[in-house]
Amino acid sequence: MRYPKECILKECEEATIRPLEKSDEKLLRRFYEQTSEADRWYLRSDVSDPHFIEKRLQSIDSGTAASIVGICHGAIIGIGTLFQRTFGATRHIGQFRIIVLPAYRQKRLGTWLLLDLIQLSMDKGLEALRTDLVVDVEDPAIEAVTKFDFFKEATLQNYVKDPAGNYHDLVIMIKRLHRGWSDY
Ligand SMILES: CC(C)(COP(=O)(O)OP(=O)(O)OC[C@H]1O[C@@H](n2cnc3c(N)ncnc32)[C@H](O)[C@@H]1OP(=O)(O)O)[C@@H](O)C(=O)NCCC(=O)NCCS
């Protein structure tokens, strides 16, 4: 895929999409500082860990996590990350998370990032994409991925606790991948 890629968000705001780079340390730190505690609660890693940014940037080389960022006015406003095992029984499956700063939500950035993560997964030869989403909390994401042919593979009932201690179902959403868009 050719990067950087210009994209127009709703209300004609321009953004750029490109892979995360090792030189993005400050931008990445600033991005996570702006995320809410509520959003951070459901991430795969503790982004408040002082070593998190360093580890994430190192993972660019290891091939275990590939991130695509949305940039507007010189700041990261959204990030989508594809996680992949480099060995064993599930190395053909990718998992991903997307997070967009609240001020930029519902402007299509999440969709742009999702499309690129799907393309990246196909380029890597992955056979399926998985995302685990929390019912009641991440309903917008469930709706968004359903539009891209993800289906509910399983529901783990009362599996997740929110910060207030309430239980929620976790849905495992899967999308089967083909070699190219023309195979659909
Ligand atoms: C989920 C998230 C990434 C979506 O990003 P976004 O940039 O707002 O998404 P988009 O504007 O591209 O919206 C895509 C679709 O999502 C759905 N959607 C987004 N926000 C929604 C909302 N508040 N309510 C209902 N549906 C919503 C809609 O189906 C929308 O399609 P439409 O514009 O054709 O109606 C963003 O809300 C977010 O960061 N949430 C917190 C973290 C999270 O839940 N991550 C999901 C893990 S993968």
Distances (CA, A) of 71 to 24, 66, 78: 11, 16, 7
Q: Which domain holds residue 36?
A: 5-128
CA of 78 to the centre of ligand 1 (A): 12
How far apart are alpha carbons 35 and 98 in whole angstroms?
Answer: 12
Distances (CA, A) of 1 to 17, 18, 34, 60, 90: 11, 10, 29, 17, 25
Do strands 14-19 and 5-8 pair parallel, antiparallel, or not at all (unpaired)? antiparallel
* 122-135: average pLDDT: 96
How far apart are alpha carbons 95 and 81 in whole angstroms?
Answer: 8
**Does the pLDDT at position 180 exceed 70?**
no
Q: Which of 41-50, 93-102, 105-114 is predicted least confidently?
A: 41-50
pLDDT of residue 182: 62
**Alpha helical stretches, state H, the chain:** 25-34, 37-40, 52-62, 109-123, 139-146
Answer yes or no: is the C-beta of 141 below 6 A from any ligand 1 atom. Answer: yes
CATH number of the domain encompassing residue 14: 3.40.630.30
- Provide the pLDDT confidence category of residue 183 given band limits of 50, 70 and 90: low
Q: Nearest C-alpha to atom 40 of ligand 1 is from which residue?
A: 99
User: Around Cβ 46, how many Cβ atoms within 10 Å?
Assistant: 9
Report which ligand 1 atom has the smallest distance to the Cα of 101: 39
**Does the pLDDT at position 170 exceed 90?**
yes
* 122-149: average pLDDT: 96
1 or 35, greater pLDDT: 35
Residue 117 lies in a domain: yes
Burial environment of residue 167 by CB neighbours within 10 A (0 to 12, 13 to 18, 19 or more): exposed
- Provide the pLDDT confidence category of residue 60 given band limits of 50, 70 and 90: confident
**Does the pLDDT at position 149 exceed 60?**
yes
Do strands 151-161 and 167-176 pair parallel, antiparallel, or not at all (unpaired)? antiparallel
Answer yes or no: is the C-beta of 110 below 6 A from any ligand 1 atom. Answer: yes
Domain count, the chain: 1
10 or 155, greater pLDDT: 155
CA of 110 to the centre of ligand 1 (A): 6
Q: What is the pTM of this model?
A: 0.94
Q: Nearest C-alpha to atom 4 of ligand 1 is from which residue?
A: 110
**Does the pLDDT at position 184 exceed 60?**
no
* 79-107: average pLDDT: 95
Residue 19 lies in a domain: yes
Residue 64 lies in a domain: yes
CA of 88 to the centre of ligand 1 (A): 32
Average pLDDT of the chain? 93
Report which ligand 1 atom has the smallest distance to the Cα of 106: 11
1 or 85, greater pLDDT: 85
Q: Nearest C-alpha to atom 7 of ligand 1 is from which residue?
A: 110
Residue 167 lies in a domain: no
Residue 29 lies in a domain: yes
pLDDT of residue 48: 86
Residue 157 lies in a domain: no
